[in-house]
A and B are shown apart, each in its own frame.
Chain A
Amino acid sequence: MNPVIALIVDDEPLLRERLRAHLGTVWPALSRIDDARNGPEALELFELHRHQVVFLDIHMPGLNGIDTARALARRAHLVFVTAYEQYAVQAFEQGAVDYLVKPVDPARLADTVERLQRQLAGPLRADAALDAMLDQLAGRLGQRVRPQQWLQWIKASVGNSVRLIPVEQVHFMRADDKYTLVAWEEGEALIRKSIRELIEQLDPEHFVQTHRSVIVNLRCVSEVVRGINETAEIHLRGHDEVLPVSRTYLHHFRQM
């Protein structure tokens, strides 16, 4: 059998060192152990040396543990390492892949090593269960990131700093020459984004265009007064400004 080499992937140096020390004791036959700080580094090293065994932290910067696992799954034996990731542990317990919990218990690691040695004797199986588990894990961890992509922050120069204004604090936006005026709870600012760009990026549930040059936050509207000739005027809560509604956009307020 070829000499076995292993790769440890973790962004925390002390934990890499600790696992390396444990492996040195439990698996003295390992001819070499490499270190990587993140997913891309791990893949680069793997391409160079083709480690048979990879210990992989799930929570990592850059390419995350799951994507790294996908890239390695059919070419190396994987062991996941995690401190506490409730969903991850649930997924592992279904048995598709071995996992270790930090801090690593030497006795538990010995079991893992024994299992790995048995697997190394046979061929690397293409495991559909592993793929399924990775999908499931990605889905569960992904729950923390919402897919929705509406604009949530307006970046605007105020004084000599760039403010990040939460869109829910914005009252209205109005085209102003080459710029767009943003009026929000604490004042007004000019931004470069056009009304046309903004209306496509803002959540239509809360923001509507009322005029060629005006977008209003529906949560701030106190009154819509119908005028002559299919137009209207919008009065805002806590704001003296009266905004126009032109004929083209009046349909937003038909039911109101």
Chain B
Amino acid sequence: MGFALLLSWFLSVMSRTPYPDVFGRIGFIALVLLLTYSAAGKLKPRWLSAGAARLGAVILMAPVAALVTALVTQRGNFVAYLAKTETLVGHVFLVVLSVIFGVLFSLVAMRNERKGRERADRLQIELEKNNLERELLDARLRLLQAQIEPHFLFNTLANVEALVAAGSPNAGPVLRHLIAYLRAAMPRLSDNDATLDAELQLVRAYLELMHLRIPDRLQFTVTPVPNAATLRFPAMALLTLVENAVRHGIDPGMEGGRIDVGGQWDDASGRLTLWVSDTGAGMSETAQPGTGLTNLRSRLKAFYGPTARLDLHDVTPHGVRVELNFLPGEPP
């Protein structure tokens, strides 16, 4: 940029006055103004914008630089040089030219700089958009893969077998919970047909099964949410949170705990808050965040728009509460 500025400066002025000494003086002035331009951007006071500082400095420095060239070239004749009308007019002309071109090229340079910054910003936004799209695609792909954890499935089946062998009247209901869970957890092609009601049923089925397996360590409630039957909801979103609560909250501790699932509408804003709260082991500050939460966050935003939120809260004395907050009416 600096070189181009210098060169074009030379050429444009050269075409008007092609004398070697003028050439030298112009070159010197150009150099001084270029340095001034760069320095003003760095050393400017806080209250001044970079653009104003640069323009001001260039305008101030142009006559000074011209005067210095006059001093150097004329030396002893300096006073005579300034006294003579003809050369004085020439000098003033030189100063005016310096100011005009200095300002002109500063403006061009600043415009280029701004354009460069804008391009960098555009690239950044593009990059972020690409990342978001990739995350979403990843999330969809995972949805297509089977979600059923073999450890969970076979342990549950072993429990069902035990109930059947014992002739327990619980065997039938438990099998139905398992079937409901498996049906919901099967890979699916799209989120579009899933409702919050179906999700709450899935969560209840899962928790019933877990409660059957470890009745002394897991208690739970699933509170109905008004209007859940007609509310579109990304499949498996609550289940992911409940599975996390079991795996990281209930499983590690010998005492276990309780899991509460519920929701509340805010009438004023029309937003819905859903929560999965546990009184389990709680989260250590160094616990590696799984990809599950990050994926869920991006899926929620894709589903309900950018104002959808997923927050984690600490539960006293121990446990974690995850809240989803979104406006169901928003277009995806």
User: Which residues of A are interface residues toward B (Cβ below 8 A)?
Assistant: 11-15, 17-18, 21, 37-38, 40, 59, 61-62, 83-86, 101-104, 146, 148-155, 161-166, 186, 201, 226-228, 237
Contact = CB atoms under 8 A, between A and B. Distances in A.
A37 B254 contact: yes
A253 B309 CA distance: 34
A152 B288 contact: yes
A163 B311 CA distance: 7
Contacts of A104: 158
28 contacts: A12-B158, A12-B159, A13-B214, A15-B155, A15-B162, A21-B166, A37-B254, A40-B254, A61-B254, A61-B256, A83-B155, A84-B151, A84-B153, A86-B150, A101-B154, A103-B162, A104-B158, A148-B288, A151-B286, A153-B289, A153-B312, A154-B285, A164-B283, A164-B320, A166-B289, A201-B285, A201-B286, A228-B42
Interface residues of B, number: 42
Please indicate which of the listed interface residues B154, B254, B288 has the most CB atoms of chain A within 10 Å of its own CB: B254
A104 B313 CA distance: 41
A152 B287 CA distance: 6
B45 to A, nearest CB: 11
Contact of B314 (A38, A148, A164): A164
A14 B213 contact: yes
Contact of A38 (B159, B162, B254): B254
Interface of B: 42-43, 124, 150-151, 153-155, 157-159, 161-163, 165-166, 212-217, 251-254, 256, 283, 285-289, 293, 309, 311-314, 316, 320-321
A162 B313 contact: yes
Contacts of B213: 12, 14
A234 to B, nearest CB: 15
Contacts of A40: 254
A228 B45 CA distance: 11
A134 to B, nearest CB: 20
Contact of A84 (B154, B166, B253): B154
Given A152-B286, A228-B43, 11 more contacts: A13-B215, A18-B162, A18-B165, A21-B166, A61-B251, A84-B155, A101-B154, A151-B285, A155-B285, A163-B313, A227-B42
A85 B149 CA distance: 10
A9 B22 CA distance: 99
B214 A226 contact: no
Contact of A83 (B154, B289, B316): B154
Please indicate which of the listed interface residues A83, A186, A227 has the most CB atoms of chain B within 10 Å of its own CB: A83
